Structure 1
Amino acid sequence: LSAVQTVPALRSFSIPECVSEEGSKGATQIPCPPQDLSRWDKLFIMLEDYQMKQDMLLQQNEDMVKAEMDSIRRELHKHNNNNVCVQASENTCKCISEHMNRNLNQAMDQLREAADMYQAHNNETLQQLIQYSRNQATHLTMAMKSFSTYPKEQEASNADGGKLERALMATVADLQRVHAQLALFQRATAHRFLPSGCEMALLFPMRSKHIFVEVTPSMSMSLQSFTICLWAKVTQSLNKTVLFSYGTKKNPQELQLLLARNSLLLTVGGETHLVEAHSVVTDGQWGHFCAAWSSEQGLATLWVNGENAAKVPGVAEGHVLPGNGFILLGQERSRSGIYRDMDSSVAFTGKMTGVNMWNHMLDAGRIKEYADQDGYCDSRGNVIGWGVSEIIPHGGAQYIN
């Protein structure tokens, strides 16, 4: 708005005043030499034309209403002189009154319609002016640099040019300030945004073996099928970045949901049973990731943002997840079982929210529903439920909102 408010000052510098032969404003004036209109002049002339058209249209409608009222008054006066309303029935006078009201309503409707048309047209013109000013910010900056190279003698000989330059520089500064504020607002909004209506998220500020989140499931992890879904925004994905890991003393990597550069991976029963979806992950952007598996046919599927990204049969067919293990987010259990022996190179950095796990395979419709960024965060798994199950941050991991 400050940029738009600054623009009217430019018009006074683009139109030179005509003076008399004596050097002052008088009755006899020397005609102004023709000048090329700038883009700013054309825009303001266009706005003035629209204002003039509006005034003419309003005046025309006002004249039309006055003429109609005068005609009705003459008609009523004629009837009164002839004693028509006195002699006629009450219905005749009522008919005349209704005719007058109908004409007035039609005139007012036409006036409102004309005003609405002008308002819409004026708004469109204003938007064009604002868009034009934004597009010309860079060109104005370059023009200012070229103005600054002119000799000082030329600036002294053209005072209006100097005023125009200062006004243009002020406009450029205002536009740059508005653009900077918009960019700051966009970054702040993107930083605070949490998908699916979730009010909290887990923040993993840096890659460290001491930063992870421990999850206590609501039921035994001895499962023959499951579905894991979560929202994640990874700062940077390396060759192996752990989202979700379930391990036991015998097999620390029993079940894992991983990122590898721009790929999503699932392992069941060890790294030999691997499912991978390529080119589905973008650093710095929220993504909804789901992994589903069934022991009956060994069917494993990966879903990204509600779309099926991979489907592989024969993955750990007949296998049953062992119970009494440990669930970690953003890190994997070390083979020694000691936290200090964890590997910092596989740690997750970024944000995570909406972590849920079910003891069965969800159908495609449910997964698409949970992947809605404008959805609700109240759908919770029966094995792990976001906001219900015990989810404890360790190290520098923390909850944010």
Structure 2
Amino acid sequence: ESLNAGCHADLSRWDKLFISLEDSHMKQNMLLESVRQCCGGMVSAKAQVEKLLKSALQQYMASLGSSCRAQAEQADLRLHDSMVELRREEADRERRINATLKRMLHSGQEENARLKRLEESLASLTAESQPTPRPGGWGTSGMKPLLSDLKGMTSPSDVDAVKGSLVAIATELQKVHLQLSEMMDQAGTLSNNQGDT
């Protein structure tokens, strides 16, 4: 009986040991399964994060590209509008210059006609007052003979009329000279602007 009791005690000790080993092995399997699940979850989470990042990056690149294209189109439009406005201003300036030049040409033609008429009237007056021919021209060599002709005229009213005409012509010539100077300055400015563009 004592032998049976000892065997029974040994068996129950081994049974406990095997049960403990089985429990340990079961826990180990459970831990391994939990680790595998965690690893699988991490892989899935990593894939989802990469997918989200890729989608967000694609959206950002598309938005950035469209924004850059819109800004480039706006810049091109502003540049085109500026060029059109600049051409319009240049055309207006050129029209004003041409109109001023035409007015100046017309004024010069009128002054030439007035000078011609004045020369003809002076020639007729000097021919009536004295037979000596007067040197022609309106330069420095012709002014003194003209003044001597004016002094030699007998009619004071004719002399006053000629002097008034000369003063008016000199005034008009000064205006034409000023206009020509302004037009030359404007033409130089326009040429510089066209050279810069």
Normalised by the length of structure 2, the TM-score is 0.32
More helix, by proportion: 2
Larger radius of gyration: 2
